[in-house]
Amino acid sequence: MSTSRIDARFAALKAEGRAAFVAYVMAGDPDAATAAAILAGLPGAGADLIELGFPFSDPMAEGPPIQRAALRALEKGMTLKGTLELVRGFREGDQTTPIVLMGYANLLVTWGFTAFARDAAEAGVDGLIVVDLPPEESGPLADALDAAGVSLIRLATPTTDDERMKVVVRRTSGFVYYVSVAGVTGVKEANAAAVAPHVARVRKASGLPVAVGFGIRTPERAAEIARVADAVVVGSALVDEIAEAVEMNEDVTRRVLSKADSLAKAVRSARVGQTTV
Amino acid sequence: MNAPSLPNDYTAYPDADGRFGAFGGRYVPETLMPLVHELEAAYRAAKADPAFKGELDGYLKHYVGRPSPLYFAERLTRHYGGAKIYLKREELNHTGSHKINNCMGQILLAMRMGKTRIIAETGAGQHGVATATVCARFGLPCVVYMGAVDVERQKPNVFRMNLLGAEVRPVTAGSATLKDATNEALRDWVTNVEDTYYLIGSVVGMHPYPQMVRDFQSVIGTEVRQQILEAEGRLPDALVACVGGGSNAMGLFHPFLNDEAVRLYGVEAAGEGVATDRHAAAINGGRPGVLHGSLSYLLQDKEGQVTEAHSISAGLDYPGIGPEHSWLHDVGRATYLAATDQDSLDAFKLCAELEGILPAIESAHALARLDQVTNDVGKDGLVVLNLSGRGDKDVATVAAHLGRTI
């Protein structure tokens, strides 16, 4: 069952006493073939989990880097169907690295929640983050994902108080994603000291590993967060590498994987034991 | 979808989840959810507070200039040859459109909530000007997001906002129109959650905005009800208004929803034609989808990517529509027609020449369907059209389409 891929990965990392490095890339950025090569190379570059964005025309919670990534992918014809194809292709070579899709509700509404949950599970997707489906609106999707054995991963944020935290974690599985700053992706910088108590709060409420994302761009910052969280998500900084490599006519895959490698090393060398739940 | 059941009381919506039937809801990032709940509670408290209503009514009377007249358009009536046509003169409000009704209500609410910074999105600039106006009046800093394309085609309004002390931020993302300005305003809000109030300009977005904006605009329909009873001794047979997001239409319709003999007509922007891919008619040319916090009719491709709207009118150039309109359409309470750019230009000229009134190009869309509406209600019918804004801002656009330079 696919949920177990996330649980197994976090259990193994707990045994190692280190945080996970989660790499975010956008499906189809800069094109489908390159995105497939990047995905295939990410585990080797040290990604413990992969978050794969599916492009949407109006990504209201994204900063400029991921907005532009979505635009590049859409211009090259990437779709939600194409995103599942990428996952399917990735699974031919990797049966253990969890893949979590991240995006916006309207494409799922169009597909139909039940059919999409089934198709995503069948393609090898382990979890789903839908930015604009808060607990109030995600009941039907949660039912569909439960039936298909795919984790619904909810977001907790600096504005989520203890009372609301109970609502947020209620139907969450796999892990909880803590949004480290009030804002859009890739603009403000996360602060490990400020994040730490919130991570503890989310862990206590959910009993699940806590991944921290939004605002982590450098190996130094990733290492700091890795000392207080169970997983560190980097997205905009990787996506920026794609944009720059395309612009400079460089080898996109190599450049992104090299950045992923430096971030992964920083997370691994942060080596902390107190991240256990 | 199952056929929607007819409600006994149309005014009982939205429900506790912010739903009008299947439509509406709160599709927003988690960071905003606590604020959305806070806003809902604050609005509920304000609505129940007679002091709030008293304060708002005072500003509406002395600052906005309400009530706006209900004017018998004798020559338009003669032109269409039957039903009596009345114009609700919202263009005579301070700032030149109905938008100020909502802005006044929301700025008083924002101050009650202790917010110190106001943001807004704008298409034609009418809502931006109205927001900048109330911010100037109450001394609050104001940032208005406006698509770069709209900045270009509505320069006088940009300058007006600047004169009122607002900062206008052009948005170049996507199609650089109202939808993209709304995305950018939401990004600002999610980034500045502590002190910022998002003053949405139409009956769109997440609950409670569609309800709250409708309530603030319902002063239009409430006045019309009283005025038409005074003038004609009976309720009208039809109400007609243009619909982008749909706030002027909702404000006119709402006090009449339970009067089922009163036909309701919304007119969408058909751009170059609903059969083309260049229009802004969400109900006539879209299907339900999720954008900017609610489920409603939406222009989108097969996969669900939102497509660009096209209209001569910047104020109607939006791929969505308020969720209450989607519901009124689905249950059959209101009828949604469409008018093309050309229809609206013709109606603009007709209204100018026959009544001496330059209507906003948005409102001209409603005028353009008086042909069908007067025909539907027959010779003895009574029609009220919401003249939601004045057309001074549009003279350059109209001139360009007429091939004239000014």
Query: How many domains in chain A?
Result: 1
Angle at B331 between CA B373 and CA A143, to 5 degrees: 145
pLDDT tens digits, one per residue of B162-217: 999 999 999 998 778 889 999 999 999 999 999 999 999 999 999 999 999 999 99
Beta-sheet pairing, B23-24 with B19-20: antiparallel
pLDDT: which is higher, A188 or B228 = B228
The pLDDT of residue B3 is: 61
The pLDDT of residue B124 is: 80
The mean per-residue pLDDT over the stretch B216-244 comes to 98
pLDDT: which is higher, A1 or B383 = B383
The answer to whether position A146 is within a domain reads yes
The answer to whether residues A105 and A132 touch, using CB atoms and an 8 Å cutoff, is: yes
In percent, how much of chain A has pLDDT > 90?
Answer: 92
Domain enclosing residue A155, as ranges: 4-269
The pLDDT of residue A271 is: 65
pLDDT band at A217 (very low <50, low <70, confident <90, very high): very high
Is A172 an 8 Å CB contact of chain B? no
Does the distance separating the beta carbons of B27 and A132 come in below 8 Å? yes
pLDDT band at A140 (very low <50, low <70, confident <90, very high): very high
pLDDT tens digits, one per residue of B304-340: 999 999 999 988 999 999 999 999 999 999 999 999 9
The answer to whether position A276 is within a domain reads no
The pLDDT of residue A186 is: 83
In percent, how much of chain B has pLDDT > 90?
Answer: 90
Does the distance separating the beta carbons of B186 and A60 come in below 8 Å? yes
The answer to whether position A34 is within a domain reads yes
The pLDDT of residue A39 is: 98
Residues of B in contact with A66 (CB under 8 A): none
For chain A, give the longest Cα–Cα distance: 50
Residue B154 pLDDT > 90: no
pLDDT band at A277 (very low <50, low <70, confident <90, very high): very low
Only one residue has tokens 């007679």, namely B50
The answer to whether position A277 is within a domain reads no
B68 is catalytic: no
Residue A275 pLDDT > 80: no
The answer to whether position A125 is within a domain reads yes
pLDDT band at A272 (very low <50, low <70, confident <90, very high): low
Q: How far is CA B13 from CA B21, B26, B27, B215, in A?
A: 8, 15, 18, 12
The mean per-residue pLDDT over the stretch A2-8 comes to 81
The answer to whether position A243 is within a domain reads yes
The answer to whether position A275 is within a domain reads no
Number of other residues whose CB lies within 10 A of the CB of residue B226: 13
What's the CATH number where A258 sits?
3.20.20.70
Catalytic residue among B40, B121, B355, B362: B121
pLDDT band at B149 (very low <50, low <70, confident <90, very high): confident
Distance CA(B171)–CA(B187), nearest Å, equals 12
Q: Which residue does chain A place closest to B182, by CA atoms?
A: A60
Distance CA(B302)–CA(B300), nearest Å, equals 7
Does the distance separating the beta carbons of B29 and A60 come in below 8 Å? yes
pLDDT tens digits, one per residue of A33-88: 999 999 999 999 999 999 999 999 999 999 999 999 999 999 999 999 999 999 99
ipTM: 0.94
The answer to whether position A248 is within a domain reads yes
